Amino acid sequence: MPSHSHFKSQRRVALPGSKRQPFTFGTTQAAETAETITVSVIVPPQEPIKTSTPGTPEGRLSRAEFAKRHGAPADSVRLIEAFAEEFGLKLEAAEELGPCTLRLAGTVAAMQEAFAVTLKRQEVEGTQYRVREGEIQLPEELSGHVVAVLGLDNRPQAKPHFRIAKPHASNTSYTPPQVAQVYGVPAGVTATGQTIGIIELGGGFRQADLNSYFKTLGLTAPTPVTVSVDKGTNSPGTANGADGEVMLDIEVCASVAAGAKIAMYFAPNTDQGFIDAISTAVHDKVNAPEVISISWGGPESSWTAQAMTALDAACQAAGTMGVTITVASGDNGSTDGVAGTANHVDFPASSPHVLACGGTTLKSAAGAITSEVVWNEAALGEGATGGGVSTVFALPAWQSNAGVPAPTASSGGRGVPDVAGDADPSTGYTVLVDGQTMVIGGTSAVAPLWAGLIALANAQNKSSAGFVNPTLYANGEQAFRDITQGNNGGFSAGPGWDACTGLGSPNGKLIIAALAAALRK
């Protein structure tokens, strides 16, 4: 065991990717040094995770096998345990977060000394946040043993990607099963035996609303299981708040994938909470979701590099274990809501280990599509589908023939989105939120739509699809309705893949068949 001053006497080195920009909102005060906080320390796996590929389930790892093969190196754990003891921090159990996440608890004063940071208290509209600036500094001996330290700063990280429809005479709306029908999802099939995990960073649901809503659809209402992550809870509030996101997610995926079990992972809206929620869902041995839906995100530029690396690694782990992750691509067009006219993409949609879901404006009659174009109501202040090219993640091999535009940064190249579906609030989804019938859209509706479709495919094919991107891109145009009209600001739709709607909207029967064929190879 190192001596009492072993780490304190070492030279400090910056943790790569940990630099935080100033939080420029509200008033600043010194942090309460006696407050106790808990941080997540993520270490690299003892064996690197291989990039997920499609194929037969034989090549996948169970959650137990993954933990054994890709767990935390023993020497990293010993060093962090000694480091924690020297600085008066407590190492807490964090098995539910996966094998490479450790929890350290201690006072703000101890955390400041241990990580050589200054924590401040920022108050914005009556809510207090704990923030830091600059880089985390580690004792030299820990260099290479730590991927990320999350939780020192708890500023809001992400936004839900849903939009409530504004009244227009030309508006129309659909129930999720009606959308599924026009997208060719087989009628009368169920997703019994499947579990869909849903990540939420706020809001909540009321079971009475679900019972009422599904009764109107003639379906059995799900009874979602709730999982608390980092003290997050199912906390329903008002229809205009995050409840709209939560209810949209449940009502879309559970009505498309009738019979599926729904597991809700509630976490604080911080980078720590977001990543811990995904890790918990991915490694959950009790509920064991085969599909995970995420409708929250933020511009790549709003994330620290360490947080992006950690979250992407969790998504990569999911594919290795046969879990599909669907993610909304954002509702602010090609700028992703960043001031100025430059193009930005949303993360985690830009992770190369998720299925990024963009948005369309869908019109149908008699159960058939009459028109489908890129969703772009930005001129009316009512949003547009996110999409573009990552400046962080390189072009994946399975996207190399898609015609993705060149990135603006040499490190980037991954094109967003991969697929699309109805997202325009003016052609949105009729849902029930806090007792109110509402029409809601946004790419938040597309992630659970695709999650439901993949859960149906898993049930029909009697095996989880896993990481679906290579299969969907290799299948080409056959399983998709190509969207060729419209733009999201900086990018225009055209034949084949584009940075507005990806490969297009689904032909449900052909998607299920394509995923079945990949499992047989």
Compute the distance between CA of residue 61 and CA of residue 322 in angstroms, rounded to an integer: 8
Residue 476 pLDDT more than 70?
A: no
User: Does 299 share its domain with 228?
Assistant: yes
Which of 484, 515, 510, 478 is CA-nearest to residue 497?
Answer: 484
Could you tell me the pLDDT band of residue 477, with boundaries at 50, 70 and 90? confident
- Buried b / exposed e over 36-70, threshold 16 CB at 10 Å, is ebbbbbbbbbbeebeebbbbeeeebbebeebbeeb
Could you tell me the pLDDT band of residue 478, with boundaries at 50, 70 and 90? confident
Classify residue 437: in a domain, yes or no. Answer: yes
User: Does 139 share its domain with 181?
Assistant: no
User: Does 238 share its domain with 333?
Assistant: yes
Compute the distance between CA of residue 101 and CA of residue 140 in angstroms, rounded to an integer: 20
- Over the stretch 209-228, which tens digit does the pLDDT of each residue have? 999 999 999 999 999 999 99
State both tokens at 390. 């990552």
Compute the distance between CA of residue 294 and CA of residue 329 in angstroms, rounded to an integer: 10
Does residue 465 contact residue 193 with C-beta atoms inside 8 Å? Answer: no
By residue range, what is the domain housing residue 181? 174-186+195-520
Name residues whose C-beta falls within 8 Å of residue 363's C-beta, 6 or more positions apart in sequence: 172, 369, 370, 371, 372, 427
User: Does 119 share its domain with 266?
Assistant: no
Please report the DSSP string for 88-145 in residue order: T-EEE--GGG-TTEEEEEEEHHHHHHHHT---EEEEETTEEEEE--B--EEEGGGTTT
Compute the distance between CA of residue 413 and CA of residue 426 in angstroms, rounded to an integer: 32
Which of 285, 489, 265, 469 is CA-nearest to residue 388?
Answer: 489
State both tokens at 25. 């909102």
Average pLDDT (331-343) is 93
Average pLDDT (96-108) is 96
Does residue 11 contact residue 116 with C-beta atoms inside 8 Å? Answer: no
- Over the stretch 273-324, which tens digit does the pLDDT of each residue have? 999 999 999 999 999 999 999 999 999 999 999 999 999 999 999 999 999 9
State both tokens at 263. 């597991």
Average pLDDT (229-238) is 96
User: Does 63 share its domain with 17?
Assistant: yes
Compute the distance between CA of residue 95 and CA of residue 97 in angstroms, rounded to an integer: 5
Chain-centroid distance, C-alpha 336? 16
Residue 456 to residues 10, 258, 509: CA-CA distances in angstroms? 55, 8, 10
Classify residue 158: in a domain, yes or no. Answer: no
User: Does 105 share its domain with 211?
Assistant: no
Classify residue 169: in a domain, yes or no. Answer: no
Residue 2 pLDDT more than 50?
A: no
Q: Which residues are catalytic?
A: 245, 249, 444
User: Does 76 share its domain with 225?
Assistant: no
User: Does 78 share its domain with 112?
Assistant: yes
Please report the DSSP string for 8-44 in residue order: TTSPEEEPTT--B----SSEEEE--TT-EEEEEEE--
What CATH number does the domain containing 468 carry?
A: 3.40.50.200
Number of domains composing the chain: 2
Q: What is the DSSP letter of 376?
A: B
Rg for the chain, CA atoms, rounded: 22
Average pLDDT (480-489) is 98
User: Does 119 share its domain with 63?
Assistant: yes
Classify residue 498: in a domain, yes or no. Answer: yes
Does residue 456 contact residue 191 with C-beta atoms inside 8 Å? Answer: yes
State both tokens at 120. 């401040």
User: Does 146 share its domain with 179?
Assistant: no
- Over the stretch 448-460, which tens digit does the pLDDT of each residue have? 999 999 999 999 9
Classify residue 160: in a domain, yes or no. Answer: no
State both tokens at 413. 């190249």
Residue 58 pLDDT more than 90?
A: no
User: Does 99 share its domain with 201?
Assistant: no
Q: Where are the beta strands (DSSP E) in 349-504?
A: 355-365, 368-374, 388-394, 413-416, 419-422, 427-433, 436-441, 480-481
Classify residue 7: in a domain, yes or no. Answer: no
How many residues would you count in the chain? 521
> Which range is least confidently modeled, 190-194, 337-341, 474-478?
474-478
Average pLDDT (84-97) is 94
pLDDT given at position 30:
84
Classify residue 2: in a domain, yes or no. Answer: no
pTM over cut 0.85: yes
Which of 517, 512, 446, 448 is CA-nearest to residue 189?
Answer: 512
Does residue 349 contact residue 357 with C-beta atoms inside 8 Å? Answer: yes
Classify residue 162: in a domain, yes or no. Answer: no
User: Does 133 share its domain with 66?
Assistant: yes
Average pLDDT, the chain: 94
Residue 367 pLDDT more than 70?
A: yes
